[in-house]
Amino acid sequence: MIYNSYFKKFVFVFCLLIVPSTFFSGETQRRGAADLIKEASHIRGNRPQDALLLAEEALKISIETKNIRNTIEAQNIIGSIRLFFGEYEQALILHFKSLELSEKINDPYLLSVTYNNIAMAYQSQKRNDIAIEYFKKSLVYAEKSGTANQILNNLYKLGVIYETLDSLHEAYKYYKRSYLIEENNNNSEGMFYSLLGIGSVCAKRNDYYQSYVIYNKALGIASKLKVMTYRMLVYRHMGELFLREKKYINARQMFMTALDVADSLEYNKEKRDCYINLATTNENLRFYTDAYYYLARYVEINDTIFSQEANERISLMQVKYDLKTKQKEIELLKQKEQKSLIIRNALLIGISLFILVVVLMIYLYRVKMRHNHVLKDRNQEIQQQKEEIFTSLDQLAKVNQQLSQKNQQITESIEYALTIQKTMLPGPDAIRSHFGNAFKVFIPRDIVSGDFYWLHACKNCDMLAVADCTGHGIAGALMSTIANTLMNNIIEENPDISLNDFLNVLNNKTKQLFHSHTHGNQRYDEGMDLSVLKYDKHNKSYEIALANHIACIADENAVRVLEGDIYSVGGVFSKTEEHKYVSYTLKPEKPSTLYMFTDGFHDQLGGPENRKILFSRLQKKLGEIKHLPLATQKEMLLEYLHSWKGKNKQTDDILLIGIELKVQ
C-alpha cells in the first residue's frame, strides 16, 4: 500500500513537469520560425527569458529547414539578450556565426545589423577602438541597404562612443541629429534612446535642470511603450544625475528601482552598474555597511562578466575572424593572379595576331600600289574629310564664343545681385553706431551670400540678427532677401515685440510663404538658423535668442558658450506649433565681448589633415585673442582662417560679428 501510494505521487508530479513542457514544445513547432522570431523581438524588453526560449526554438527550426536568413535573425536576438545578461563570450560567438552567414548570402541589411551587434558587445567591454571600427562597417552597409532605422541606430551609437571619449560637442551633434530625424519619423523607440544620450551630455555639461527635463520626457515615452528595459535605463540615468548633484537620497531611490527591474529581467550588466552606483551613493551617505555590501556584489558579478579566460577566448574569436578574412583576401589575390595570367596570354596571342595582320596589310598595300588611280581617289576622300573637320572646328569655336558670352552675362548678373544685396545689408558703421565698438567678418562663398546680418533701431531698443539661410550663391541670396523683408515687416507691425514672439512669427511667415507655393507632394526645406540680439535702452540690458545656433561671450576669465535651441526657423527641422526658444539675459558687470556667427567659419576644411576647424578650435582661438582690441581680433581671425584653409576652396558662406558689451 505504501509503495502504491508513493508510485501514484511520483506519476502525478511527473505529469505536472512533463505535460506543460510537451505542450509548449508542440505549440512552438506548429508555429513558423519567422513568427517565433517576431514575437521574441517584441517581448524581449519585458520578458527576456521567454524571448530567449522562443528565439532558441526558432534557431532550431531554422537550422532544420536550412533557412539562412531566419538562422541569422534568431542568432542575433539570442546574442543581444545574452549581452544584456552579461554573457559577452556567448553573445560574440553567436554574432560572429551570423556574420559568416551574412557574408555568405551578401545581404547588406543583415551585415549592418550583425556588425552593429558585434560593436555593442565590444563597447560593453569598454574596447571602444574595436567598437568604432565595427560601428563604421555597420554604417557603410546600412547606407548600402538604404535602411533608415539602421543608419539612425549607428548615428546614435557613434554619439555614445564620442560621449565615452568625452567628445561632448560631437556626441551632442550626433544625438541631436538622430533625435530630429526620429521625431520627424515619429519613431518613439529611436526618440527614447536619443533623449537618453542628450540628457547624459547635458548632465556632463552640468546643465542638470535640462538633463532632468529630458530624462522625464524619455520616461514618458518608456511608460507609453510599456517596456520595462526602457524604464530601467531611465531610472539608472536619473540616479547618476542625482549622484552628480549630490542628492544622494534621490539617487539611492532611483538606483534601487533600476536594480529591482534589472534583477527581475536578470540583466547582469545593468545589475553590475547599479551595484557600483549604490556602493558610491551609500558611501556618501555614510551607510558604510550597505556600501560594502553593494561593492562586494559588484566585484562578484564583475568578475563573472570579465573573467580572464573569457577575455582570452573573445580575443581568440577576433583573431580567428581576422584570419578567415585574410584567407578570403588571399583567395581573391589568387583569383586575380589567375585572371592576370589569362589576360597576359590573351595579350600575347593578340599581339601575335596583330603582327600577322600587319604583315598581311603590308603585302596588300604593295599590291594596291600598282593601282595609282585608287590612291588618287583615296587622297581626294582624305582632303574632303579634312575640310569637313575644319568646318566642324569653326562651328565649335563659334559655340565656345557664345558660351563665353553667356558666362560673362551670368557673372555680371551675379555681381549686380551682389550690389543689390549690399544695399540691403546695414552700412559699415551701422553696427558700431548702435551697439558701440564692434567688428564684422563677412565672406560670401559664391559672390553673393546665403548668410546675412540685419539691424533695426528704434526709440526703446536696438536689434541685431545673424542668420544662415538655406543654400549658397543666388539661391541663398534670394532666401536672405526674403528673410530680411519678413523681419522688417514683423518689426513694422509690432515695434515692441519680444524676441520669442519675433522668432515664432518669423517661423510661421516663412512656412506660410513656401507652403503656399507647394504643388502635390513637393516639399520645401527653405529656412534659416539665426541668433537675434536685443539691447534694451531703458534697462541697459541685453537679451539674445538662438534658433539652432550657438554664440560665445568672453570676459577676462573665460569664453562661455551660449547653447541655442535645437529647432530652426522654417524648413523641416522647425516646430509647427508655438515654441519657447532658448534665450539669455546679459547684464555684464565687467568688460565682455559677445561673438555671434554662422557655421561657415568652423566648418572650413583645411589644416594638416584636411579636416574642419570645428567649434572647439574656434572657441579656443577666441580665448587666446579675447583680451586684444576688436580690430586686432578681426585681423587675427582672418589670418587664422586663411592659414587653415590653405589651397582649399571656401566650404561655406562665413559671417562672424564681435560686439563689446556695455558694462552696467
Q: Which residues neighbour 2 within 8 Å (Cβ) at sequence distance 6 or greater?
A: none
Higher pLDDT, 517 or 476: 476
> Of 187, 255, 653, which is closest to residue 453 (Cα–Cα)?
653
| Percent of the chain scoring above 90 in pLDDT | 38
C-beta of residue 269 within 8 angstroms of C-beta of residue 302: no
pLDDT per residue as tens digits for the range 303-345: 776 654 444 444 545 544 554 555 555 566 667 767 777 887 8
pLDDT per residue as tens digits for the range 635-644: 999 999 999 9
Q: Which of 86-95, 201-210, 439-448 has the lowest mean pLDDT?
A: 86-95
Stretch 584-608: mean pLDDT:
94
Q: DSSP states of 427-485 as a string?
A: PTTHHHHHHSSEEEEEE-SBSB-SEEEEEEE-SSEEEEEEEEESSSHHHHHHHHHHHHH
The three cell numbers of residue 518 are 507647394
DSSP 529: E
Q: Which residues neighbour 334 within 8 Å (Cβ) at sequence distance 6 or greater?
A: none
Q: Percent helix, strand, coil in the chain (nearest 5)? A: 70, 10, 20
Calpha distance 307→310 (Å, rounded): 5
SS3 283: helix
Burial of 352 (0-12, 13-18, 19+ CB in 10 A): exposed
pLDDT per residue as tens digits for the range 542-567: 999 999 999 999 999 999 999 998 89
What is the pLDDT at residue 14?
Answer: 37
Beta bridge partners of 541: 536
Q: Which of 51-65, 217-231, 387-401, 616-630 has the lowest mean pLDDT?
A: 387-401
Calpha distance 625→637 (Å, rounded): 9
User: Residue 29: pLDDT above 50?
Assistant: no
User: Is the dihedral angle over the CA atoms 327, 328, 334, 336 positive or is it negative?
Assistant: negative
Q: Which of 145-149, 250-254, 303-307, 473-477 has the lowest mean pLDDT?
A: 303-307
Highest mean pLDDT among 186-200, 242-256, 374-388: 242-256
Cα 153 to Cα 130, 306, 358, 464, distances in angstroms: 18, 26, 63, 39
What is the pLDDT at residue 464?
Answer: 97
What is the pLDDT at residue 509?
Answer: 92
User: Residue 584: pLDDT above 90?
Assistant: yes
Start-end of H helices in 226-371: 228-244, 248-265, 268-284, 288-305, 308-368
Calpha distance 512→271 (Å, rounded): 52
User: Residue 30: pLDDT above 60?
Assistant: no
Beta bridge partners of 456: 463
Calpha distance 435→439 (Å, rounded): 11
Stretch 82-95: mean pLDDT:
84
C-beta of residue 341 within 8 angstroms of C-beta of residue 312: no
The H helix count followed by the E strand count for the chain is 22, 13
Cα 159 to Cα 40, 154, 359, 408, 444, distances in angstroms: 28, 8, 69, 47, 32
HSE-CB at 481 with a 13 A cutoff on CA atoms is 15
> Of 526, 544, 545, 547, which is closest to residue 535 (Cα–Cα)?
544
The three cell numbers of residue 58 are 526558432
HSE-CB at 509 with a 13 A cutoff on CA atoms is 15
| Percent of the chain scoring above 70 in pLDDT | 89
Higher pLDDT, 280 or 85: 280
What is the pLDDT at residue 596?
Answer: 98
The three cell numbers of residue 263 are 534583477
What is the pLDDT at residue 24?
Answer: 40
Q: Which of 12-16, 253-257, 357-361 has the lowest mean pLDDT?
A: 12-16
Cα 99 to Cα 65, 138, 638, distances in angstroms: 20, 11, 50
What is the pLDDT at residue 394?
Answer: 80
What's the full length of the chain, in residues? 664
User: Residue 25: pLDDT above 50?
Assistant: no
SS3 62: helix
Cα 294 to Cα 87, 161, 264, 286, distances in angstroms: 21, 28, 17, 13
Calpha distance 117→138 (Å, rounded): 9
What is the pLDDT at residue 275?
Answer: 94
How high does pLDDT run on average in the chain?
Answer: 84
What is the pLDDT at residue 618?
Answer: 96
Calpha distance 111→145 (Å, rounded): 10
Higher pLDDT, 584 or 146: 584
C-beta of residue 70 within 8 angstroms of C-beta of residue 41: no
Q: Which of 69-73, 122-126, 258-262, 625-629 has the lowest mean pLDDT?
A: 122-126
Long-range contacts of 234-240 (CB under 8 A, 24+ apart): 234/196, 235/261, 236/270, 236/273, 236/274, 236/277, 237/196, 237/199, 237/200, 238/212, 239/274, 239/277, 239/281, 240/203, 240/277
> Of 146, 145, 98, which is closest to residue 121 (Cα–Cα)?
98
Residue type, 503: L
Q: Which residues neighbour 75 within 8 Å (Cβ) at sequence distance 6 or greater?
A: 59, 94, 95, 97, 98
pTM as predicted: 0.45
What is the pLDDT at residue 580?
Answer: 92
> Of 451, 476, 444, 456, which is closest to residue 466 (Cα–Cα)?
451
DSSP 565: B
- Distance from CA of residue 590 to its chain's centroid? 39
Higher pLDDT, 410 or 601: 601
Q: What is the dihedral of CA 458, 463, 464, 468, to 10 degrees?
A: -120
Calpha distance 295→4 (Å, rounded): 53
Q: Which residues neighbour 623 within 8 Å (Cβ) at sequence distance 6 or greater?
A: 554, 558, 559
Stretch 35-54: mean pLDDT:
85
**Dihedrals phi, psi of 541, to nearest 5 degrees:** -130, 160
The three cell numbers of residue 72 are 541569422
Q: Which of 61-65, 153-157, 225-229, 625-629 has the lowest mean pLDDT?
A: 153-157
Tally Cβ neighbours within 10 Å of residue 288.
10
Q: Which residues neighbour 442 within 8 Å (Cβ) at sequence distance 6 or greater?
A: 449, 451, 453, 654, 655
As a whole number of Å, the end-to-end CA separation of the chain is 103
Start-end of H helices in 461-578: 473-493, 499-515
The three cell numbers of residue 196 are 537618453
- Distance from CA of residue 355 to its chain's centroid? 60
Higher pLDDT, 470 or 463: 463
DSSP 87: -
User: Residue 170: pLDDT above 70?
Assistant: yes
Long-range contacts of 254-257 (CB under 8 A, 24+ apart): 255/281
Tally Cβ neighbours within 10 Å of residue 369.
10
Query: pLDDT band at residue 2, thresholds of 50, 70 and 90?
Result: very low
> Of 45, 43, 35, 107, which is closest to residue 72 (Cα–Cα)?
107
